Structure 1
Amino acid sequence: MTASLNKKSLLRPMRCVLTLLILAPFALSGAHAAPLSDAAIEQQALAGKVGTAQYTAPDFHPGIVRHMVMFRFRPETTQAQKAEVTRRFLALAKASRRSNGAPVIASLEAGPQNSGENADEGLQYGYLVTFRSEGDRNFYVGRPVVTDAAFLDPAHDAFKTFAGPFLEKAVVFDFTVSATQ
């Protein structure tokens, strides 16, 4: 068990936040906004209730938060472009920082889809980003819940703008770890 987990976060029931979001093409770049999921609406309400500063603070709901991202690239996206998307995504591990220089991401892993279960929905590449708190995740994710630039990660925001035109589909699923074995 990770020392950074506190008893309160272990006792909380598993929270699947920003549950399965299937984004329309270019939704990442902001050209066409995808409709908000129930989880995104719930998160907007929470941010409104506690305030954006608290919602994105590093100590907001501490605990291990997993942010799973899966992409299907547009058919015309070249191998070089796919590699650049992944290079830039992985670079966020160092580039995603708060204004005081504190890192936001605890770890970032990536790899191509290789399951034979026939349940991949055509998704081609996956990324697993780990945060130390929901506040760190909220700061990193930013839009659509957090829109004030002072409270979102400019590096991740720029990455979404860059990657959007290369993507046919993106799926994002976040959860706070509540059980391990």
Structure 2
Amino acid sequence: MRKKTVQPCTLLRPSRLVRPGRLSLTLGGLLLLSACSGVWRHNPYALPIARYNAGPDTRAVPSASVEAARQFMDQVGVSQYTSPDWQPGRVREVVLLTFRDDVSAMQKQAFAQRLARLTQDSRRPDGSHPIDMIEIGWEGAQTRTPIGRHFLYILQFRSEGDRHFVMGPPIVTDPQFYDPAYAAFSAFMAGLIVDRTEYGYHPAIVPGIVARSKRAS
């Protein structure tokens, strides 16, 4: 687990809504926000959010888990570590955020809009999109209106290599091997939040009693 302190559940595939959730923003709301801005897709190598100052580097002293991951990456090679076929299988990264008190609802909406666009903006040099899905939600929200200070998003990937490529620093520090779009988004996010905790995991689905009963019948 990586916890970062700095000065930033709808399922989205690159172009469609998969499942609404109790804590979700709807795709319609995100599309509306994008329509208002007049932009949906961006060149990830020239994102306007890259202009935001990421603030002081709070990761100067790596945690034990980050250092262990770097050592493993050095053993296998950064090219292999970030390749799309490295350790294939469903893997997710969950990110929990706390916004600053002075961040407005409009800023939070803009944040969610930029996050949703990552399914398109995030891509490898060959044009492929490493993010399979994004799940986003405001704590306790039953509508798309952002409330409160707490927010989470989950990125789903098709391999560990895709996850490493997108998440990049502090583990992958060579710009040739991490996604500039997500790096720019992280810089933008840093100006809005006071706390950020993230970790990767492989989901294990446990069906409920109703689901098992239907299958049995």
Q: Say yes or no: does 1:94 pair with 2:120.
A: yes
Distance 1:56 1:30, change over 3 A: farther
Q: What is the aligned-residue identity percentage? A: 32
Aligned pair partner of 2:3 in 14, 22, 32: 22
CA contact (8 A) 1:70 1:123 kept: no
TM-score calculated relative to the size of structure 1:
0.79
Greater Rg over alpha carbons, structure: 2
Correspondences of 1:133-152 after superposition (within 5 Å): 133-152=159-178
Q: Which position in structure 2 is the counterpart of 1:114?
A: 140
Higher relative contact order (CA 8 A, sep 6+): 1
Correspondences of 1:29-68 after superposition (within 5 Å): 29=54, 31-34=56-59, 35-68=61-94
Partner secondary structure for residue 62 of structure 2: coil
Q: Which residue identity lines up with residue 109 of structure 1 in the other structure?
A: E
Q: Which position in structure 1 is the counterpart of 2:194?
A: 168
Q: Which residue identity lines up with residue 133 of structure 2 in the other structure?
A: S
Unaligned runs of 5+ in 1: 1-18, 116-121
Distance 2:80 2:149 in 1: 34
Distance 2:165 2:178 in 1: 5
Task: Compute the displacement of 1:82 (Å).
Answer: 1.2
Q: Which position in structure 2 is the counterpart of 1:155?
A: 181
Partner secondary structure for residue 168 of structure 1: strand
Partner secondary structure for residue 47 of structure 1: helix
CA contact (8 A) 1:24 1:32 kept: no
Q: Which residue identity lines up with residue 93 of structure 1 in the other structure?
A: T
Q: Which position in structure 2 is the counterpart of 1:14?
A: none
Partner secondary structure for residue 131 of structure 2: coil
Unaligned runs of 5+ in 2: 9-52, 142-147, 207-217
